[in-house]
Chain A
């Protein structure tokens, strides 16, 4: 657990970057610091590993005041990932990953073995081991950056906008893999971003900071979307927060209807409705066709309308609603874990399911911290 205890940072020129910040990042959870530029989120992060020293207040990790710890030792025990990866250009991918183990005095063989293991863990090809950073794409560099931070298996990770410099598709993929990795590793993570969508997607708990470095609100994402503490937070979490909050609502059992399908490459047969769902040989949906246009010939790839998204049966209400809204036939396609078709659902059916769900209860006593992750069970 990382505790910010009344932390203030004033720079020599008089600017107050962080103002009396008190916040707890619970063990094994992702705490996201989010806010506009100038809100002191990066400064707050960098005070944890003492890249920046606080002016007042203390940062306490598992009961130990970081100000009393040796700087280099402290940092070796904390994984650190930064925006442009900050890989060492003169070292190979493998040597970059092995940096901290080497600093900790591991021998060469053990370091290399561990580095190879991590290369695989972050989803990189073993053939990249002997490449140099300039030979990698931005996304690959960022993965190496994460692997380097994980190399000595630190209990804490600090991540400063690690995914903001890569393109949106790669970013989305890196975020998904990051969550999957965190599922296995259970690190205590402090994550900085300016992107509220990223904050809500990744955070177990989101702390919104305002310009001048004070805490506007800290809460679990669903709570934050449901009960912004003030206008600033409401503005910052954005307009479609009602829709986005569906992402935290697991789908109840939706009334699925069975859907007539045709296998790609076969004839549609008699037209029952204006749209017919096309599947592959494993019953994985691939798109929709208009049987009237195909006529009596086999369905080809070129006939497919691919506009619809797929919802997982055990996914969220947002996924189900989006599947219905995006489907050309207005029937949202629902699949099982393996991606095989289960049935379809209509938008109004998803909406009535939404009407039946509860919103997170508002904590009237403490609007700013009411929705924060409960850390009472942990030792201070």
Chain B
């Protein structure tokens, strides 16, 4: 098995042309990116709104119940329904739509949950110092919610990368092609190679997003050291004369 996998990967044919690994990888990335853009455009503002205002929490529950919908069945139904769209769109639109449906729940839950989890004292202080609603949202709530928002995005990306393989079922490209075609032709080296590529891509994107998160999230939240040791100059009682009396004991 390993030998046949290796020979599949080392075959120049595997890499070349429209059905080569390079092109399929780009297609796969493109589906993932398009899906995430659609999902985030819908889910992030909705999550911010629900979290900030506390209105319509049912949205999050409804979105979470979407996770139970069988993706493959939905994809086939959507393709049938949208088959009148011109050209490639007849395949691309239902695929992206179904994948986005998969990506929305984690992004929405992460965004809403992140805003909801902001320290109430910090939020109270934000209003108390005279920030307006929008300033509270963008200057305090979003920066503090960022770790959870981004972890929602990361888990959505993982799911989308893995599930985008099914786009191949309705005749699109992407790494799923290798798996579907490999299975159809009983070419297990090709199917296994495709699966391996999907896994590697998922890990690579996860690593990339972890780096992005490191850059975006304030060190005050991630607990990363920012120079200087913690609490080294604790409020040691000072030896100033108090109001009227001073202990003869020297403070420990």
Residue positions of A touching B, CB distance < 8 A: 49, 51, 71-77, 80, 82-92, 99-100, 103, 125, 127-128, 130-137, 139-140, 145, 148-149, 166, 169-170, 172-173, 176, 179, 201, 247, 285-287, 306-312, 315-316, 318-319, 322-323, 333, 337, 339
Contact = CB atoms under 8 A, between A and B. Distances in A.
Contacts of B237: 169-170, 173
A315 B241 CA distance: 11
Contacts of B143: 90
Contacts of B121: 82-86
Contacts of A131: 226, 228
A316 B240 CA distance: 17
B220 A132 contact: yes
Q: Find the residue from B220, B223, B247 having the highest chain A CB count within 10 A.
A: B220
B119 interface: yes
Contacts of A318: 244-245
Contacts of A87: 122, 125
B228 A312 contact: no
A90 B221 contact: yes
B221 A89 contact: yes
Nearest to A79: B129
Contacts of B244: 247, 311-312, 315-316, 318-319
B79 interface: no
A173 B239 CA distance: 10
Nearest to A278: B248
Interface stretch (B59-67, B130-138, B165-173, B197-205): B130-138
B224 to A, nearest CB: 10
Contacts of B97: none
A133 B127 contact: no
A264 to B, nearest CB: 12
B135 A103 contact: yes
19 contacts: A74-B130, A75-B127, A82-B124, A88-B140, A89-B144, A90-B220, A103-B131, A127-B233, A130-B226, A132-B226, A134-B223, A135-B226, A173-B237, A176-B243, A179-B243, A310-B246, A312-B241, A318-B244, A319-B244
Contacts of B240: 176
A80 B244 CA distance: 29
B252 to A, nearest CB: 10
A137 to B, nearest CB: 5
A68 to B, nearest CB: 17
Contacts of A309: 245-248
B235 A80 contact: no
B11 interface: no
A319 B245 CA distance: 5
A99 B129 contact: yes
A103 B129 CA distance: 9
Nearest to B220: A132
A208 B20 CA distance: 81
B218 A91 contact: yes
Interface in B46-89: none
Contacts of A73: 130
Nearest to B128: A80
B217 to A, nearest CB: 8
A80 B130 CA distance: 10
Given A130-B227, A132-B220, A136-B231, A308 B248 contact: yes
Main secondary structure of the interface of B (DSSP, over half): loop
Nearest to B123: A86
A76 B242 CA distance: 33
Contacts of A170: 235, 237
A255 to B, nearest CB: 18
A9 B68 CA distance: 47
Interface in B205-223: 218-221, 223
B233 to A, nearest CB: 6
Contacts of B230: 135
Given A170-B235, A306-B250, 20 more contacts: A74-B130, A76-B129, A82-B124, A82-B125, A86-B122, A86-B124, A87-B122, A87-B125, A89-B220, A90-B143, A91-B220, A103-B129, A135-B231, A139-B235, A173-B235, A309-B248, A312-B245, A315-B243, A339-B241, A339-B246
| Nearest 7 Cβ contacts at the A-B interface | A132-B220, A319-B244, A86-B125, A315-B244, A76-B130, A75-B130, A90-B218
A240 B126 CA distance: 41
Given A82-B121, A127-B228, A88 B126 contact: yes
A170 B231 CA distance: 14
B95 to A, nearest CB: 38
Given A75-B127, A88-B125, A103-B131, A132 B245 contact: no
A166 B128 CA distance: 22
Contacts of A337: 241
Contacts of B223: 134
B130 A306 contact: no
A306 B246 CA distance: 11
Contacts of B219: 132
Given A132-B218, A132-B220, A309-B245, A88 B122 contact: yes
Contact of A285 (B126, B144, B248): B248
B248 A80 contact: no
A364 B244 CA distance: 32
Contacts of B18: none
B117 to A, nearest CB: 11
Contact of A89 (B122, B128, B234): B122
Contacts of A77: 130
